Amino acid sequence: MSAPAVVPFVDLRGQHAAMEGQLRDAIERVIGSSQFVLGPEGEAFETEFAAYCGARHCVGVGSGSDALRLALLACGVGESDEVIVPAHTFVSTALAVSWVGATPVFVDVEPTTYTLDPARVEAALTPRTRAIVPVHLYGQCADMTPLAALAQDRGIRLIEDAAQAHGAEYRDARAGTLGDAACFSFYPTKNLGALGDGGAVVTNDDEIAELIHGLRDYGRVEKYRHTTLGYNSRLDEVQAAVLREKLTYLDTWNEARERAAAFYDEALAGSVATPTVGADRRHVYHLYVVRSPARDLLAARLTEGGVATQIHYPVPAHRQPVYRSLPHRALGLARTETLARELLSLPLFVGISASQLERVAELVRAR
Ligand SMILES: *Cc1c(COP(=O)(O)O)cnc(C)c1O
């Protein structure tokens, strides 16, 4: 009898093997150009990724977290401001708010899509609220139309955390065009990932784009002229060259993710709660997350059977020690608390094999 397949949570080798020559050529192109920061590859990638999203501007930065930080600054968020963020997200969404001196206000998520609940946002707005940062969680856009209406009504900014949502759609528009600015991460495991850290701010707003250009480059407007307190946060040329090659595969890869998700949807129906896709949304399955009241038993069974799983996220942002003194942590976040106990992320990556998917499904269904 052969040993059952071992299934890693994520494996980038399949994705890279198919394009290894292209990746090496891209890196050699940069070595040959001898331009390593802010050069032609970065500019070309910015043009290409903006076009992919259907937006006017893309400005490459050092990471997704920096994209959030610089977008908040460009939107004028600072000391004594409040910013609405979902409690159910990667902590970086909230950290970026804190970095600019503002206070994250944690709001609960929708019970089915797990994205920021517009009905709860309204109740959390105060005269100090300066921006809303919905997260397109697991690859699915938040319900942007009511959020945009609230933001417009109050004259506040709407900033997408699109770190998990390259290519995700909402009412025929792509993530990146659904607010004042959108923040992408190119961390290696994201749907579009570099060979290291990287990020970008995508926007249709000329002024925001110009501000980000300064903020990522020491506040420089021309050589030796620094007009704002800028930072050093650039997407380097090697990463940009690699991302240009990978961008040509993004649609194919997202389709492969959707096919794997469709297999799980069918194979797991009735055993666990499979993901719900909201109306008018295209989910690109950065993560495939199921829900079960017996999550810990399920996770143990999968581990035992050689299948790696993860939890996104076991400790909600408002429960993190870093936020222990925040006054808002007592707000009603019951859904987030339950999700932290019941969600489990299953292996899903480009190149996951049919037998690996079968193996995962078999173990999830076992009792
Ligand atoms: C990955 C991620 C970030 C941070 O991106 P980095 O590039 O790792 O800094 C922010 N928000 C969400 C939702 C993420 O998944």
pLDDT at 4 over 70: no
d(CA 93, CA 248): 28
69 by DSSP, 3-state: which?
helix
Residue of the CA atom closest to atom 6 of ligand 1: 64
345 lines ligand 1 (CB under 6 A): no
Burial of 216 (C-beta count, 10 Å sphere; 0-12/13-18/19+): buried
105 lines ligand 1 (CB under 6 A): no
Neighbours of 77 (CB within 10 A): 23
pLDDT at 332 over 90: no
pLDDT at 329 over 80: no
Return the pLDDT at 330.
55
- The mean pLDDT value of the chain amounts to 96
Q: Ligand 1: distance of its center to the CA of 159 in Å? A: 14
194 lines ligand 1 (CB under 6 A): no
Listed in sequence order, the DSSP H helices in the chain are 13-17, 20-33, 40-53, 64-74, 92-99, 118-124, 144-154, 206-215, 237-247, 250-268, 295-304, 334-342, 354-365
What does the pLDDT average to over 88-104?
97
Of the candidates 49, 58, 70, which has an alpha carbon nearest to the alpha carbon of residue 204?
A: 58
Q: Ligand 1: distance of its center to the CA of 155 in Å? A: 27
pLDDT at 97 over 90: yes
Pairing of strands 199-203, 288-291: unpaired
Of the candidates 209, 144, 211, 139, which has an alpha carbon nearest to the alpha carbon of residue 179?
A: 144
Phi/psi for 272 (5° steps) reads: -140, 165
**% of the chain beyond a pLDDT of 90:** 93
Length, in residues, of the chain: 367
Pocket test residue of 61, 66, 70, 92 for ligand 1, highest count of atoms within 8 A of CB: 92
pLDDT at 328 over 70: no
The model's pLDDT over 51-70, given as tens digits with 9 standing for 90+, comes to 999 999 999 999 999 999 99
The model's pLDDT over 211-229, given as tens digits with 9 standing for 90+, comes to 999 999 999 988 888 988 9
Q: Ligand 1: distance of its center to the CA of 264 in Å? A: 25
Pocket test residue of 164, 236, 284 for ligand 1, highest count of atoms within 8 A of CB: 164
Q: Ligand 1: distance of its center to the CA of 39 in Å? A: 25
Of the candidates 363, 245, 242, which has an alpha carbon nearest to the alpha carbon of residue 302?
A: 363
